[in-house]
Every structure is written in structure tokens, then in C-alpha cells.
Structure 1
Amino acid sequence: MELRTCREIVEKIVMQLTVFWGGELADGVADQLKQEAPDGFEVEVVAMQSYGKSDLEAFKETQMVAVFLLQTAENNQPPEDASKFLRYFKRKTHPETMLTDKLKFAVLGLGDSNLLLDRQTTGAKDCNACGQLLDSRLEALGATRIHELGLADERTGMEEVEPWIKGLWEALGKIE
């Protein structure tokens, strides 16, 4: 029987991270996360539109570490490919403990304040209603936030994405 060192065993430990994306802007960021994943992380990228009712119900039973990348389209609405996913979490019938001890999460909202030109001042906070809603709703359902809500604006060239991703990897490295 071959003896392995503790180091060899620890090096094989991999954290499974699921990245859910909804919207065109989110697709590119999801690919970026997968490509830039540090050693020790296995990243699965999933389009929100591909999750059916039974998949969504699995959130109630499965322990998972997940990142949600969600674009806000015009009129503070989710893109069509993410609307069913967001509606699921918005249900008022879910118990407040539905995700307690089951989901560790981070949310990055992606928007475009160019769509809000009727306002005097606009910024990333103004064009990311869907990301903000999902973040607060996951927390209200008992999920554990592992990294602060990120808000990015296409008008500023999405400059907020890189620092948020860097902070995400740091936060994920501290999860036990």
C-alpha cells in the first residue's frame, strides 16, 4: 500500500463552484470566471435558462457554493433567459430558512446606465435592480453571502468586474 503525504491529499481537494448566468453581459463574465479559476477550484458554468422547475427545487436540498451573474435589461427587468430563474426565488411561499446551511453565494449585477438617460445622475447602482433583488432575496431565504454584492455598469466599461472577481477568489479561498 502506497502512503501519501498530507500535502498530496490536500492538493487534491477541490472546491466545486457553480456559476449561474443570465443575460448577454453575464455570459462573458461567466466564461472569464471559468478561465481564470485558481488551482483548487472546479467551476461549472450554467445558463439560468437551462434550469427547469425540478433543477430549481434542488436548491432546497443541495449544499452548494454558487455565483450568480445577472444582467438587468430595460425597465429594471431581467433578460428573458433569466426571468424564470429570478421568479423562482421571488416566490413569497418559500420559507425563510429554505437556503439555510445549503447555499453560500455571491451576486454580481450587470447593467447599462445608458438605458437610464432620462435621469439626472446614473450609475451602477441604478441599472442593476435584478442583481440587487436576487442578492437580497437569497439572503432573506437564509443563504450565506460569501462576497459583497457587485454592481457593474456597461457605460463605464464594466470596470467594476475585475476588482469584484479578485475579491471573490479571495473570499472563496477562506471558505471552510
Structure 2
Amino acid sequence: MSKTYELSHQLILEGYSDASFQSDEDDAKSQSGFVFKLNGDVIAWKSSKQDTTADSTTEAEYIAALKAAKEAVWMKNSIQELGVVPSIAEPVVIFCDNNGAIAQAKEPRSHHRSKHILRCYHLLREMVGRGDIRMDRVTSAENMADPLTKPVSQIAHAQHLGKMGLRNMSDWL
């Protein structure tokens, strides 16, 4: 008697997005950051200044989430083209710590407070509507992209590094 095992691999891609509102005092531009994990391991991260000046924290977070969503769709398509797995059927979850940005992404109607957001940023709504992306809430303390956008305490920094699987060089020696 023998037992047959079927090897099945499922790749789970998830992202964390964050922004700091008008962190550059010279030009009032915000900082965006994202971190991506594939099956629990960090595979990509980025921190960059936003191209436009956001009028609110929600707008800055929404723009950051769009940058993360574009990266997520590119990664998902690249993984699918490799043919390693049949497909990544589930939407890529982008975790964000701003309720307003999540609402903007999920609800296609215009909000009176956000009517100034440029239409080009509403691509995020389309990605959510198509099922490519799902926006979920995460607390700021759990948002791995947080240290990519603003200074955090030494303890918080160490916790985020641990979640990302990064260690100090002295730990290797």
C-alpha cells in the first residue's frame, strides 16, 4: 500500500503601504513607502518622495497606496508569466493604516473632501474593482512600511526590522 501526495504551491503576495504627510518642509511634498512579502518573506521595498503636493493625509496615503498597487500588479503578472504556479487567483492585499484612503479605493463615488484628488490617482479604484487589489486596514504599529516614511522610535524600528527579516551585521558575525 502506498500513499500519493500531490505537491501544490500557492504563492501569496501581500503589501504594506504608508505615507508621511508633507514631510519635506521645503516643498511640502509627502513621502511614500511600500513593503512586499511573498509567502511571508520580504521581497521588495521602496521609499520615495511623491511627485505632487497632497492636500491631506488621506490624499498622501491614497497616492502611496496607488504606487504600491501598481508594483503589486506588476509583481503578480511577472510571477504568472514565469509559470511557477498556474496563477495567483486571489487579489493582492495592500495593507494601509488610513481609513480615508481605504474608503477612497473601495468606493467609486466622489467624496466632498476628496474631490481635489487628481483623476489619474483613481486607477487604484479600478484595480480594486477588477479584483487585482484588495485594500485592508492595518494599525500604524503593524504597518511594515511605516519606517520607510518617517522616523520611528528605536524599539519600533527594531520590531519592524524583525518583521521584515532584516538583522544587524553584528548578528551575523
Higher relative contact order (CA 8 A, sep 6+): 2
Q: Same fold, TM exceeding 0.5?
A: no
Q: TM-score, normalised by structure 2?
A: 0.27
Q: TM-score, normalised by structure 1?
A: 0.27
